[in-house]
Structure 1
Amino acid sequence: MSLDAIRKRAEAAEPGPWFLDSDGVSIYYVFHNGDTLDRDRLAESSGSDAEFIAHARTDIPRLLNALDAVLEWCDTNQHPFHPSEGVEGFSSQDWALDDAARRIRTALTDALEVKP
């Protein structure tokens, strides 16, 4: 699963905000365009699932933007060479940032991998 695939799905969904409604007993509905009486029924599920679905349209883009910011920081702080190459002008702090950027990128990549 890639961030681009997640972003495509988020961008393809109806624009938020979405709205949560219930029959008052056990069925929950998630709607978009909540101002109309003839609202489209998008999902029928438990209250927790419906709330998650209702918030996903705005939460996922925020999370993607946060991940983009982290990956941009990694790009800025990750160098194309290795400390063992003895590059002049780089301090131990530069190498520490490089190491952190590589570790963060690896952790994000691993977390987004589809596990069997």
Structure 2
Amino acid sequence: MNVRNSLKTQYKEININDYVNIIVIEMEKINIDELLKILPKLIRENDTVKGAIISALSGVVATHEDVIQLTRAMNERFQKVDERFEAMQRTMEERFQKVDERFEAMQRTMEERFQKV
């Protein structure tokens, strides 16, 4: 058994029937936070990584708990997006209100001038 260490991840190379090499990653050695930081860039820039992820996920079936957790996470994200849109809408309403006030003031001024004429 040949063991290599790289970036806190331990790989074990196992020869099976001298034809197949399987690389097993010991999950407790992976720095998940570091992986989450680099994974989006790897997916965007490397088609091999993207294909490997798609292949790995094609056999994965979500459990009921996975779906519940995903639903909660998405609800939180949508809630944050809703809050940003509501804040933006309040800002826009304030701006439109100020514009309306300016137009009303301008109209009053114009009416006063027309009455003088």
Q: With the length of structure 2 as denominator, give the TM-score of the two structures.
A: 0.29
Greater share of helix: 2
User: RCO higher in 1 or 2 (8 Å CA, sep ≥ 6)?
Assistant: 1
Larger C-alpha radius of gyration, 1 or 2? 2
